[in-house]
Chain A
Amino acid sequence: MAKIKRKGTSGQAKNYITRTQAVRKLQISLPDFRRLCIFKGIYPREPRNKKKASKTATPNTTFYYTKDIQYLLHEPLLNKFRDQKALAKKIARSLGRGEVSDAARLEKNHAPKLTLDHVIKERYPTFIDALRDLDDALSLLFLFATLPSDKHVPPKTIALCQRLCHEFQHYLIVTNSLRKSFLSIKGIYYQATIQGQDIMWLVPYRFVQRVNGDVDYRIMATFVDFYTTLLGFVNFRLYSTIGIRYPPKFDTRSDENGAELAAFTLEGRNVGEKPKAIESSKTQANGSNKEVSKEVQAKVDKVIKSAGLDQANDEQPMDTTEESTDAIDRFEPAAPEADTLPQPDMSGNEAGSLFAPFVFYISREAPKAPLEFILRSFGCKRIGWDVVLGDGAFTNDETDPRITHQIVDRPQLPAESLPAIPAANDSVQKVKPGTRIPGRTYVQPQWVWDCVNDGKLIRADLYGPGATLPPHLSPWVKPSRGGYDPRATLAEQEEEGEAEVAEEAEESDEEMEDEAAVEEKPVEESEEESVDGGMDVAGTDDDESEEDESDEVDEALEGMDEDAASESEDDDEAVRTRHQRELEAEAAGLPFTSNGAADEAAKKKGSKTKKLAAKKQKEEEELERQKMMMSRKKRKLLEKMMHSNKKQSEEAAKLRSKRRKIENGAEKK
């Protein structure tokens, strides 16, 4: 007889371990276990069958793999945690005895230092693996770089986050690896491609972050610990691959003056090489434009000319993009139904030359940090800004003639409403706000982002100060089948006959309304109305027709018909004309048949919709027929998928109808 197998000795019961069991097995506290899991990247698992995995009936049990926990048993960090615990006891004891200095000494000298190097090497055996997992790290570190320091987040950590983020940004600037960026409600999304890996992160706008009570900073701090180490190693590797010394030179004084990116100076690793400093002309920063030599002026003029930057037209194609012949040609599908093959995005060279020939000036109100970063990483070398925005500008002088583009984000105000500038004693000339210096392009910040996402310079006149901007679209949304694409026109993506149906529905609504309105109108008013309508009508002399008899009526009717046809979109007008014709017919003693032509049209439309409905029904029948042939399992799967697709298409239809309404509204106006 075979041996009786006992329950719970193999299979799922053995493979899974609850959290409490795991904590007991590791002999650490729950917070320490949490930290360990965060560092080691161990996450709970969902057993296929909870009943088999758990020995208790508690519903919300967290399960881990037994193997995972076993592997944690040999973790060196575990010993560190135990040391920490022991030290905490010692400190508590000496504090209890009142030996404060002793406690301080213990804390200072005996605190075990957690090094996460081995964990990172273990979790990311190759550099590419680390890059792949950089999304969350960057998002969190960029957030912490903007947070105020706290009990749980010491200022040292914040400074470290800032430094690491700036170093990373510098790498992107040097290699022109930034690809896309997007201004969202939440913050600014960036996407960079490093060694073929797409990395996307989100940077909050610079405001004080609101923190709810239920945010546990200890957990986030643990993540930050891990991510800072990770990003440090990544930065080192990135810098060393492009031959720049790591860490870059950091100028504390200029950082205190708000230089941010400009506080770093990148140096080559070779001894003889000249430092590859960012072009920050501190000497020029405070100088007036008198210092600008004629030579420089000529140079800038040439650059401007070569870029074809007149204020009137700056949508000329860039020379640089044309010159590059070894680049991949873009294949545009000639017919819409053909498949499109994916092509690689723009290369670093292209990105590096987008803003290269220009000199930007960032006005006081525009966000300097993201603009500087994005402009620099797309090739712009010379960026100036107002003194209040911090150190490190190419120029602080707004009147500098070398500036080709100025980024402004202020409304157009009438000149008299603006305050007069205080009499400036300095040598720096002040520009009255709202005035424009000829010879440069004024754009709103969105222009930069849209240029970057399109990969080319786009018309700047749409982005002028105070202008209503075109919508800012996410560069990551790929047009999907059945999805709504705001870039395409409405007609392109409408389903067959959707517009007609919608129009009809709208019209029927309107007609109802109109009828109601006509009924409501008192007689006296209607006469006035008719006169009004007649005045708008071209080529009809309705005054006569009103006074004269039936001879005129026909003429008037004809004119009306034309008129109605020409201005059919104008609904108010249509109502008036119809009403007027009614009156005229009444005067002439003819029975008024309400707009025979319109009736016909309506009939036509009705038939059209009917046809559509029939078609739809046919399609449905066809689908039913196909479904009949499937097995039940497959049919269910299909229905599930159809449901999600239907949801998407419904959403798209909703958006389309909204857009149709908006467009119609615009037309009417």
Chain B
Amino acid sequence: MDARKASKKRKAVTRDVEEEAGVFSGDELSAENLDGTLSDNANDLSDSEDDDSEIELIDDFSDEDGDEEEEEELDSDEIPSDVDEEPKKPAVKEWKPEEPNVRIVKDANGNERYLYDEIHPDDNSDYSDIEENANTIGDIPLSFYDQYPHIGYDINGKKIMRPAKGEALDALLDSIEIPKGWTGLTDPSTGKPLNLSQQELELLKKVQMNEIPGEGYDQYEPLVEYFTSQQEIMPLSAAPEPKRRFVPSKHEQKRVMKLVKAIRDGRIQPWKAPEDREEVDENLINFDLWADEQERPDHIMHVPAPKLPPPGYEESYHPPPEYIPDSKERKAWEQADPEDREKEFLPNDFGSLRKVPGYENFVQEKFERCLDLYLAPRVRRSKLNIDPESLLPKLPSPEELKPFPTTCATVFRGHKGRVRSLNVDPTGIWLATGGDDGTVRVWEILTGRQLWSAKLSDEDAVNVVRWRPGKDAVVLAAACGDDIFLSVPPIADPEIEKASFEVLDAGWGYAASNPTPNNPEEKKSAPPTWIRPSSTLADVGVCAVIPLRYVPKSISWHRRGDYFVSVCSGASTPASVAISIHTLSKHLTQFPFRRRLKGGGPPSNRPLPPLQANPLLVKILQPGARWISSFDIHPTSSSASGGDNIIIGSYDRRLLWHDLDLSPRPYKTLRYHRKAIRAVKFHPGGRYPLFADASDDGSLQIFHGSVTGDMLSNASIVPLKVLKGHKVTAELGILDIDWHPREAWLVSAGADGTCRLWM
């Protein structure tokens, strides 16, 4: 203890000296030497001296192993690192607390001055690891001091000089052996080489070996037996041994005898190791489950799981080359999300079987199939596996539907202004037209040559022209203004022309013989008398004029050719005179209806079945159209072969097909026109099941409307053709159409002043 104290004391002294001398300590170079090196050139350092000191040092270390006491001394003086010193210091302080830490010195004035020791914080202090001569420059790089001989300041404000460096030092270091504890690292706080002491090295080693670093901890301390396992010699209880310890137990004997008896009886078998039951047996099937199978129909609601579709060509390991995706498709596939991909794999050509790799998503796919089997709701979806063609209505092919008008064959030019009406004569050779210019013209259909023309009026337009049916005579009725003109155009051969004149002239006498009653109140509504035309008109072939007092808008002949009916559909026309029936052979005009037709509204231009003896209202249709422009009755109507079919064209762009047998409402409503429909017409005679409509949009539409005899099948309507050619003038397109009586030819009268033949 004394020795230690002494050494401590000495150490304290040395420390003070050291402080004065400089901060350098712990190095093998002594402070004096260092001072020298710093003041002089570093190169001046004598190598030999250093060598000596080094050798000494090593000797010291070798001694150190044996002698602990010596180590203390060496420590203080010559152990190379200062770091090493500091853990000792607090310990030293601990042991001499009674020593005054004050020295009394005389200052310049001769007064006492107390010089205190450096304060060394004790072990518990946070600052324990701060050296007193640590560099205090703070957290700045050392390079700031590159220009100066010092590298910072210690806690006392003294310069810390730069340690020796340079070639000489390098040479020195090369020459000397690397000291123990030399790390080659620089202590960042001091800027000096960082050396480790033996103890520190050992500490590090312990940490590396995962041992407990603290010293003095013994992991394998001997066990202290607090509660001894030795049996005590003396008993704790002094009770005497009970008797039952010496007497055999009856009860136990009874039980043993029971067991013995059981063994003898074979009730208890000697223990045997339980044999392993064959596990395979339970998986082995040894009976036919379907030995007595009975068919049971599936439950209605049961939906069996759909089978996976068989693989296609593209799934082949060596598909035809066209199935290999090109780079674009490949890229698209790779970029798509796995859910969005149409196929879960990319077709690939491996060439030969050995090159085929394993399919990486196999397990995944099977797993997904399992999920589908038990997790996916099954819905029976009737997949439409029919040919879409079969859905299309069974239309007769266009070839079967032929002939129908397709092209414009002839254009009849000559009318100035609109052509209001046209009519093809019953023989099918001539075409009569009447227009806004007040002329009636007759054309040859095939050539388009104008054969005859008559100017009926200068100011009024010709509203209707109609040929008399029958081939025995050529009589043309034309309504112009308030009058109806009956004429015989000089176009036929003379015999027929003569016959025609006879037909027209036969009635003159009859009218004269039956004078009209002179009843004044009936006068107003008295039927008009037929008059002869003016000479100019008579010259061109007009034979008779019927002056109606109102404008007739339509004329329609009885099929025998003796009667025709005219309708004056103007709003101002009294109901009683709106419809008049004219008898050709008697030159007689009658007004059959006294009242308005039931149903109201202005009398439309419906041609009634002429001269019904007792006019009856047969049916009321509800076409649903607001303004009916025209209608036509199917030629087979009221005959055995078909029901009653009527087509109606309306200004609200609809074409309505009425099957009177079905309902009063339209069977079909067709809206293919963009403008009002002016005229509709069935092909007469029923030879071709065609009908056409004409519209203000300048187009004609041809339909195939076949009516079958049996009541079960409805009429089938097939749109055939849209014919365009007429120009739309003043928002009017085609005003009238008519079919050729024998051929599937159509004639149309346009607002542009032309007529066209379509064939």
Contact = CB atoms under 8 A, between A and B. Distances in A.
Contact of B320 (A113, A411, A476, A486): A486
A471 B352 CA distance: 10
B362 A471 contact: no
A43 interface: yes
Interface in A356-379: 365-367
Given A127-B290, A140-B370, A444-B352, A232 B285 contact: yes
Interface stretch (B63-71, B78-86, B387-395): B387-395
Given A367-B353, A473-B320, A182 B311 contact: yes
A46 to B, nearest CB: 4
Contact of A184 (B294, B307, B317, B398): B317
B287 A236 contact: yes
A486 B374 CA distance: 37
B230 interface: no
B317 A185 contact: yes
Interface in B362-404: 362-367, 369-371, 373-379, 384, 386, 388, 391-393, 395, 398
Contact of B312 (A446, A477, A642): A477
Contact of A143 (B310, B362, B718): B362
Given A43-B378, A45-B377, A638-B392, A209 B362 contact: yes
A409 B367 contact: no
Interface-centre pick from B310, B323, B361 (highest chain A CB count, 10 A): B310
Interface residues of A, number: 103
Contacts of B378: 43-46
B47 interface: no
Contact of B318 (A160, A236, A469): A469
Interface string A200-242: 1000111111111011100110010000110011011100100
A638 B391 contact: yes
A117 B288 CA distance: 10
A143 B718 CA distance: 60
B391 A228 contact: no
A205 B356 contact: yes
A120 B285 CA distance: 13
Contact of A185 (B308, B310, B345, B386): B345
B493 interface: no
Interface in B129-183: none
A204 B353 contact: no
A135 B348 contact: no
B759 interface: no
A527 B304 CA distance: 76
A289 interface: no
B359 A625 contact: no
Contacts of A232: 283-285
Q: Is the interface of A mostly helix, strand, loop or mixed?
A: mixed
Interface in B323-362: 323, 326, 345, 347-348, 350-354, 356-362
A409 B287 CA distance: 44
Interface string A120-133: 11001111001011
B262 interface: no
Nearest to B718: A629
B296 interface: yes
Interface in A164-203: 182-187, 189, 191, 200
B370 A220 contact: yes
Given A127-B293, A474-B316, A240 B288 contact: yes
A655 interface: yes
A662 B326 CA distance: 12
Interface residues of B, number: 77
A156 B375 CA distance: 28
A143 B371 contact: no
Contact of A204 (B289, B358, B391): B358
A622 interface: yes
A658 interface: yes
B274 to A, nearest CB: 9
Contacts of A216: 367
Interface in A440-468: 444-446, 468
Nearest to B292: A121
A349 interface: no
Given A210-B360, A410-B354, A474-B316, A44 B384 contact: no
Given A135-B307, A410-B354, A638-B388, A659 B362 contact: no
Interface string B177-191: 000000000000000
A38 interface: yes
B376 A44 contact: yes
Nearest to A139: B366
Contacts of A185: 315-317, 345, 347-348, 350, 356, 359
Contacts of A629: 393, 395, 717-719
Interface string A628-648: 111000100110111001000
A126 B290 contact: yes
Contact of B393 (A38, A46, A474, A630): A630
Nearest to B391: A638
B353 A219 contact: no
Given A120-B289, A220-B370, A446-B353, A625 B317 contact: no
B315 A205 contact: no
A8 B358 CA distance: 53
Interface in B658-695: 672
Nearest to B291: A237
Contact of B310 (A160, A189, A215, A365): A189
Contacts of A474: 310-313, 315-316
Given A228-B283, A477-B312, A472 B366 contact: no
Contacts of B370: 140, 219-220, 223
A503 to B, nearest CB: 17
B719 A625 contact: yes
B322 interface: yes
Contacts of A659: 320-322
A626 B393 contact: yes
A536 B82 CA distance: 97
A626 B395 contact: yes
B319 interface: yes
Contact of B290 (A46, A130, A209): A130
Interface in A40-58: 41-46
A120 B369 CA distance: 20
A571 B211 CA distance: 86
B294 A125 contact: yes
B203 to A, nearest CB: 43
Given A186-B345, A200-B310, A410-B354, A160 B366 contact: no
A472 B718 CA distance: 50
Contacts of B356: 183, 185, 205
A662 B322 contact: yes
14 contacts: A43-B377, A44-B378, A46-B377, A120-B289, A205-B356, A205-B357, A210-B361, A236-B287, A445-B353, A472-B316, A486-B320, A625-B718, A630-B391, A656-B322
Given A63-B377, A477-B313, 19 more contacts: A38-B374, A43-B378, A46-B377, A113-B282, A133-B304, A133-B305, A185-B345, A212-B363, A214-B364, A220-B367, A237-B288, A366-B353, A472-B318, A474-B311, A486-B313, A486-B320, A486-B323, A629-B395, A658-B322
The 8 closest A-B pairs by CB, nearest first: A207-B358, A476-B310, A658-B322, A641-B388, A232-B285, A46-B377, A471-B320, A659-B322
Interface of B: 279, 282-290, 293-296, 301, 303-305, 307-308, 310-313, 315-323, 326, 345, 347-348, 350-354, 356-367, 369-371, 373-379, 384, 386, 388, 391-393, 395, 398, 672, 717-720
Interface of A: 34, 37-38, 41-46, 62-63, 65, 113, 117, 120-121, 124-127, 130, 132-133, 135-136, 139-140, 143, 147, 156, 160, 182-187, 189, 191, 200, 204-212, 214-216, 219-220, 223, 228-229, 232-233, 235-237, 240, 246-247, 365-367, 409-411, 444-446, 468-469, 471-474, 476-477, 486, 622-623, 625-630, 634, 637-638, 640-642, 645, 655-656, 658-659, 662
